[in-house]
Amino acid sequence: MTLNRDQLARWLPFLAWPRPDRALLINEASAGVTVALMVIPQGVAYAALAGMPLVTGVYAALFPALIAVLFSSSARLSVGPTALTSLLVGASLAPLAIRGSSEWVALAVWLTLLSGVMQVVLGAARFGWLLRLVNSPVLMGFTQGAAVLITLSQLPALLGFTGRSFVQLLQGPPPDYIAIAFGLGGMAALWLGKKWAPRFPTTMALVAASAVISGAISYALRGGAVIGTLPSGLPSFYWPGWLSLDGFGNLLLPAFLVTLVSFLETASSAKVDNARAGKLWNENQDLIGQGLGKIASGLTGSFPTSSSFSRSAITLYAGAKSQWSTLFSVAVVAAALLWAMPLLYHVPQAVLASIVATATIGLLRPSAFVSLWRISRIEAAIALGTFGLTIATAPSIYWGVLGGLLAALAHYMYRHLHPRIIEVGLHPDGSLRDRHLWHLPPLAPHLYALRMDAELDFASASTLERAISVALARQKLTDVCLFAYPINRIDITGAEVFGSIRRLLESEGVRLHVSGLKLPAQQVLERAGLLSPGPMLFSYRTDAEALAALTTGPARDASPVEELNREPVAAGS
């Protein structure tokens, strides 16, 4: 069997790249250089946040970006170091090793490799949907909590007391006022640049200007904290050594959380990118591409990468139209590694802190909690709980995501175990609505007409049976009608409960009417023999037919079950 180019491009997306011409290359080069000038200083700053050697932040923007763009389906994502994944690295490894040590670096690389393998496996198996278990409130709560923690972690460098606690600051020598000027001035410059010149590489301009000023005043010789010497040259292959079984167990959960958060970061950018391109997002292929990028990052001694929403937005804003812009960005990063690393020697660490803090402060959205509270107080409580747990469990902040995920799943299961079941009445507009809410009369004397807005499965079936049993106990009934159109699936437990309901009603001499049963649900009941003809069972294709029969005499006008079975309704009905 031979594969054509389109079929191969499904697994090798770079085969579908547009053929470049002069105009396209000029446009892509401009966008790629803009992003590269942003990612280089950001990479150094995020490496510090992750506790890694500073140069590894630039490594993370080289081969990982190249591999990811070759194998991802989204064309204009900027892959490299990000604040959230860097924070997760630092938080996950804090109990396991000394920050910045060789053991720390080895564990960070293993964390990167494990996360990358997880993403590749999930994408290849088409299991990307599993990562959608984290809903918006949980992600929002975690992101807000992480943004607060990242910002707080940068305060020592921003306020000129790097390496000292707040108590030591009060007892010891005064803070470094030059560092404060660099830090707060850097934040002001970045904020103004974002507001007034979003396409201008403000971050790189800030780094260059601060390096010149720092060198001119001999800031490093006066004891100021600067980046210092960074090794030049492209990264070489790095193998962290084999991981022990205990080490593997310690990293498994953090690796899953890195995978999860990284994928959600990618999703936020990929949805925008594909929507603007008029394409459907292939989440599984992006999982593969991002996973391979992480593996490339680990094998060059760096930390986990992801898609940066801010840099991807800059890519779009700069006019990038294809993956070629990433190749130009990678080329600029490679050139910087070869020749520009010495130029970063005098950059104050306070400037790096200002880059991180500005990025994370931009993530803070307190108003999002207020908006969510207005829409759903339960989901707002889950978001606030995730936020609080993320901060309270620091540095093991992944417990915030896990706690939020468990709360969200518990809420989902509670709603599924307590489906909405209402007694319906005929509204003046002709629709069937909640009889008690709208103060409507019964459809007919001695009739209990109900509707369940859920699947009839193991979680909800007992609630339906209980509702009918309670109605039988409370009033004298001759008929029960289940408006079943909202029921789109019935499992084995649901079928068994339906059979129990039918037998219960027959034993009480009560007729059962079923309206609008969809074909998939009907077929399950038929295979179980629960729609066999009988004098006490009536079925209707539409609610209008059921209403006509129930209000004029169900036994005379109901559609016999055998007629329905001979001419089944369409699957989409």
Q: What is the pLDDT of residues 239-295, one digit of tens each?
A: 999 999 999 999 999 999 899 888 888 887 787 777 777 777 888 999 999 999 999
**What is the distance between the alpha carbons of residues 342 and 327, in angstroms, rounded to a whole number?**
24
Q: What is the DSSP secondary-structure string of 111-167?
A: HHHHHHHHHHHHHHTT-GGGGGGS-HHHHHHHHHHHHHHHHHHTHHHHTT-TT--HH
Identify any residues that bridge with 425 across adjacent strands, giving them in sequence order. Answer: 433
In tens, the pLDDT along 306-346 reads: 988 778 877 777 777 788 899 999 999 999 999 999 999 99
Nearest to 292 by CA among 57, 9, 68: 68
Token digits for 70?
A: 């070759």
100 with 60: CB under 8 angstroms? Answer: no
Nearest to 287 by CA among 131, 78, 66, 138: 131
pLDDT of 562 reads 42
**What is the distance between the alpha carbons of residues 284 and 123, in angstroms, rounded to a whole number?**
4
Token digits for 139?
A: 């992600």
pLDDT of 558 reads 45
166 pLDDT higher than 50: yes
**What is the distance between the alpha carbons of residues 64 and 506, in angstroms, rounded to a whole number?**
67
In tens, the pLDDT along 283-314 reads: 899 999 999 999 999 999 999 999 887 788 77
**What is the distance between the alpha carbons of residues 108 and 240, in angstroms, rounded to a whole number?**
9
- Label residue 568 by pLDDT band (50, 70, 90): very low
**What is the distance between the alpha carbons of residues 65 and 80, in angstroms, rounded to a whole number?**
6
153 pLDDT higher than 50: yes
Token digits for 191?
A: 């904020």
**What is the distance between the alpha carbons of residues 453 and 470, in angstroms, rounded to a whole number?**
19
Q: Strand 447-452 and strand 479-483: pairing?
A: parallel
Residue, of 183 and 557, whose pLDDT is higher: 183
Instruction: Quote the radius of gyration of the chain (alpha carbons, Å).
Output: 31
Phi, psi of 540, deg, nearest 5: -135, 145
